[in-house]
A and B are shown apart, each in its own frame.
Chain A
């Protein structure tokens, strides 16, 4: 069953912050975050493992709440380059089988 992402779309001005949520009805082993720019391939952002710590690089970070079976992606002081569709994927069992959400379309405007 695919994870549920919210919001489905968001528009930000440069410098603003955003949070994208990903929740699952199944117990999670790991949560994967990817970003896809229009006309390009999805690009890996980070993986959060069960029992692991909050991850982040630059001004994008994420958390994983095992009890609530959800993850949140935090984008701080957004830049124009952050625009794209953000996908969360969950590994809840099954061999290397990551099930992706429908995506959150984020647009950063000047």
Chain B
């Protein structure tokens, strides 16, 4: 496997379910990100982890809970979501060396909340 992978690629869940999105990067990077992409809206940064520490939480509701157990893996735990949370959730990684570096994106998880 190369690059950034995400599972599952598609997820349908009810508002009372609990599910998790998984992201794995094989690039040796030390920073990972979660973004939300909705139709006709810009990419919204949700969380940033650098060296496994959360360094950015962009006013995201508590029904979204990130976890970064190591520099290669990132999870997004979901519970009691709302229909407006339906979107494409993208994971990205980059090398954090103090400068602004390119981010490599995964293919995303298409989430539908019923």
Contact = CB atoms under 8 A, between A and B. Distances in A.
A91 interface: yes
B103 A95 contact: no
B48 A47 contact: no
B107 A96 contact: no
Interface of A: 2, 29-30, 32, 40-44, 47, 49, 87, 89, 91, 94-103
Interface of B: 4, 31, 33, 40-43, 45, 48, 50, 55-56, 58, 90, 94, 96, 100-108
Contact of A96 (B40, B56, B104): B56
B48 A41 contact: no
Contacts of B4: 41
A102 B102 contact: no
A89 B44 CA distance: 11
A87 B41 CA distance: 11
Contacts of B107: 40-41
B56 A94 contact: yes
A87 B43 CA distance: 9
15 contacts: A32-B102, A32-B103, A42-B43, A42-B105, A44-B102, A44-B103, A47-B102, A87-B43, A91-B100, A97-B56, A97-B58, A98-B103, A99-B42, A100-B43, A102-B42
Contact of A95 (B55, B101, B104): B55
